[in-house]
Amino acid sequence: MQKPLILVTNDDGITAPGIRKLTEIMNSIGEVVVVAPNSPQSGKGHAITINSTLSLEEIFLDGPQRDFSCNGTPVDCVKIALDKVLTRKPDLVVSGINHGANSSINVIYSGTMSAAVEAGVEGLPAIGFSLCDFAYEADFSQAEEFIKKITLNALNNPMPKGIVLNVNIPKLNKEEIKGIKICRQANAKWEESFDERINPHGKKYYWLTGYFNNMDEGDDADETALANGFISIVPVKFDLTAHEYIKDLEKTMVI
Amino acid sequence: MQKPLILVTNDDGITAPGIRKLTEIMNSIGEVVVVAPNSPQSGKGHAITINSTLSLEEIFLDGPQRDFSCNGTPVDCVKIALDKVLTRKPDLVVSGINHGANSSINVIYSGTMSAAVEAGVEGLPAIGFSLCDFAYEADFSQAEEFIKKITLNALNNPMPKGIVLNVNIPKLNKEEIKGIKICRQANAKWEESFDERINPHGKKYYWLTGYFNNMDEGDDADETALANGFISIVPVKFDLTAHEYIKDLEKTMVI
């Protein structure tokens, strides 16, 4: 039987420890091709490159997989992989392991999750993996066994087209992780607070900063699961329609 | 009575004819502050700027509004406007008028709509307006009356927090427009096809191109409404959870 073809990408860049660990795990499951950004692309959301050009280079890193480095966004990487690198449709697209959480509202800012969502748009099964530890030297080995099991499970239990998984792993030792919980995206947001500074030429400039505000204590919310020591898995789709509000809007939006 | 405070932004840049027309329309409704990108930001999706700094400059354009130009993405513009420019919460955030359609799947790539969605995350009512005409010199005047009516209607009929409107206007003369339809996002996608070229130094590079593939003929889909000469309005939310799949995933995702 042919091994499953797995496309790996991320938003922290192709040399980040998180994607190297994910590649190693996927090598134990299937034939792996990595197409990932050549520089950090955190917070790039679903951005695509339309006003400038893209480069794509094969590079040679340890392991049996092939690695391609692209100067675009995570979504660009998925698109160019499907059009220019892979000779058949991948059986799975995985993104990550992200250095830092992509739970709750972060799903819309995250390049890691946007790559997975783009795979969903293409009708491919996809999973974004994130570890709730922003450190470059984060310990991804604790998550290895869970990531392998979740991946095998997703390969063996096909999801409906257009649904992808957002997997967040708490920063805990393996034996402290209580299991997995299927969740919904928590209602949370970043309260922005720009750090205003003066440059050497006397002009103001700003750094985006802020704090995370979780407004959701629901048992079924991903933030709750993570806080309680569980891995959270949110099924994610790309239909942004507020279907439940269509009828009401039809009544009020009369022009 | 205090006039409503309206924040205006876009993704085509602060000098684009689309945002100048939208600003003119909003000036007839309320007190207007424009905070918009200083360069084209089409396709930037929900990107935010975290690895570099932002500038913000007041510039002086025709009209009673105040105008601020920012070097960030449309979502950055909304965030910095709320934190650093506006002294009170706006009553409405409007984005556009985009030069080109943001119907169906385009909602996730669109900087225009991501700005509106970010306002939704902030709990503010918001509307993204797009004209189905990519031309710089597109004729926005045909849409003026509809945009004003839709805006007044949204101000008079508060939407639930977190829901924003995606308004697309067909490229037709005013008298040809048949009315408005409340719709869902059509199931459609871009079939990518990268244009491979060779640079003067012999190296390959790529332009993202593709064609639009509408796979949805539903009467309630935005693409159908537009094709039939209606303005489409899709209520949009930022919860990406596939709620309908949670129960099934709980059964299959056992690790």
What per-residue confidence (pLDDT) applies to B254? 86
**B85: in domain:** yes
Chain B residues closer than 8 Å to A207 by CB: 53-54
**B195: in domain:** no
**A200: in domain:** no
**B44: in domain:** yes
What per-residue confidence (pLDDT) applies to B2? 84
What per-residue confidence (pLDDT) applies to A255? 78
| Residue B185: C-alpha distances to residues A6, A161, A244, B91 (Å) | 30, 16, 13, 26
Chain B residues closer than 8 Å to A149 by CB: 255
Pairing, β A164-169 against β A231-236: antiparallel
- Check CB contact under 8 Å for A246 and B235: yes
Question: What residues have CB less than 8 Å from A87, skipping those under 6 apart?
Answer: none
Q: Tokens standing for A78? A: 């998925």
**A230: in domain:** yes
What per-residue confidence (pLDDT) applies to A187? 96
Q: Which of A83, A109, A157 sits opposite B48 (nearest CB)?
A: A109
- Kindly report the backbone phi and psi dihedral angles of residue A170, in degrees, each rounded to the nearest multiple of 5, phi listed first: -70, 155
**B212: in domain:** no
Q: Tokens standing for A9? A: 């990408």
**Chain A interface test: which of B25, B58, B108 (most A C-beta within 10 Å):** B108
Rounded to 10 deg, the angle between the A144-156 and A17-27 helix axes is: 50
Count up the domains in chain B and report the number: 1
In the three-class reduction of DSSP (H, G, I as helix; E, B as strand; rest coil), residue A176 is classed as helix
Range of the domain at A136: 5-186+218-252
Question: What residues have CB less than 8 Å from A242, skipping those under 6 apart?
Answer: B163, B235, B236, B237
In the three-class reduction of DSSP (H, G, I as helix; E, B as strand; rest coil), residue A143 is classed as helix
- Check CB contact under 8 Å for B50 and A208: yes
* Among B114, B199, B121, B108, residue whose Cα is nearest residue B162: B121
What CATH number does residue A230 fall under?
A: 3.40.1210.10
**B196: in domain:** no
**B209: in domain:** no
Separation in Å, CA of B228 to nearest CA in chain A: 18
State ipTM: 0.94
- Check CB contact under 8 Å for A83 and B46: no
Chain A residues closer than 8 Å to B255 by CB: 146, 149-150, 153, 179-180
Q: Work out whether the CA dihedral A96, A102, A105, A109 comes out positive or negative.
A: negative
A vs B: CB pairs below 8 A = 236
- Check CB contact under 8 Å for A235 and B252: no
Separation in Å, CA of A138 to nearest CA in chain B: 19
- Check CB contact under 8 Å for A108 and B122: no
| Chain B, nearest residue to A206 by Cα | B54
Please identify every stretch of chain B with a pLDDT value under 50, giving residue numbers as ranges: none
How confident is chain A (255 residues) per 10-residue block, as mean pLDDT? Answer: 93 97 98 97 94 96 97 97 97 97 97 98 98 94 96 95 97 96 97 95 95 96 98 97 95 88
- Check CB contact under 8 Å for A157 and B252: yes
